[in-house]
Amino acid sequence: MTTRESPRRREVLEVLRTAPAPLGVAEAAERMGLHPNTVRFHLDALVTDGLVERRAEASSGPGRPRTVYTPRPGMDRGGLRDYRLLARMLLSRWTAADPAEARAEAMETGRAWGRFLVDPLPPDEPPTPERSTAALFALLDGLGFAPQLDGGGGPPERIRLRHCPFLELAEERSGVVCPLHLGLMQGALARLDAPLTATALEPFAEPDACVAHLTGPRA
């Protein structure tokens, strides 16, 4: 259970935040009117979640140091996220522009990220079509595209993308999201110095997949 899902845990965190000094378990329990074991359980969970810091306070006399708790500085990381809305906001800048210009800018952005994201081949491995495609496949798989090679035994001429990690955005803004994906593949293959490139991406070409087309040699 996360802090957001636990009202009691949020209450413990709020007690720590409003306290003028770090609190021990007994002090926090007294302020909340709860059993110390209950408060200790929630404090341990807050420490695990990274929202609270636990430390030993130097003792002024004999005996073991007192363990105290303080809220970790910074915003609460247990809140809601809405990155899809952020993506829509950013994409709206492209879609408001000329369609051809927006497509070109999206492809160039994709190429830059493709060059950045792909791991280059080892120096002793020539960038053959098979090795280059395998590296591209690994990149697409790691990004969540669930790629499937379609080559009939030789170097593949098509890659079926059976999942889109940005599906809702692609359905709404295919004019920029899909060129972004095509540019991503082109940039990755260029970074690999591959003897082939991605020439086209057919959005939703099949009921359960988009299809990327590969050809060589790379121009």
Predicted confidence (pLDDT) at residue 179 exceeds the cutoff of 90:
yes
Predicted confidence (pLDDT) at residue 155 exceeds the cutoff of 70:
no
The reported pLDDT for the residue numbered 191 is 95
Cα angle 166, 156, 143 (rounded to 5 degrees) comes to: 25
The least confident of 44-48, 100-104, 213-217 is: 213-217
Q: In the numeric block, which tokens belong to residue 15?
A: 């007690």
Q: How far apart are CA 56 and CA 52, in angstroms?
A: 14
Predicted confidence (pLDDT) at residue 82 exceeds the cutoff of 70:
yes
Helix axes 25-32, 7-18, angle to 10 degrees: 110
DSSP 8-state symbol, 202: E
Q: How far apart are CA 147 and CA 135, in angstroms?
A: 12
The residues that bridge with 76 in the sheet, in sequence order, are: none
Looking at every residue in the chain, the average pLDDT score rounds to 87
Secondary structure class of 52 (helix, strand, coil): strand
Stretch 157-165: mean pLDDT: 93
The least confident of 31-35, 56-60, 98-102, 180-184 is: 56-60
C-alpha distances in angstroms, 69 versus 27, 31, 175?
Answer: 10, 14, 52
Cis peptide leading into residue 207 (ω within 30°): no
Stretch 10-38: mean pLDDT: 92
Predicted confidence (pLDDT) at residue 162 exceeds the cutoff of 80:
yes
Which parts of 2-121 fold into alpha helices (H)? 7-18, 25-32, 36-48, 83-95, 99-117
Q: How far apart are CA 35 and CA 24, in angstroms?
A: 13
pTM, full prediction:
0.70
At 84, the amino acid letter reads: R
| pLDDT tens digits, 65-76 | 889 999 988 766
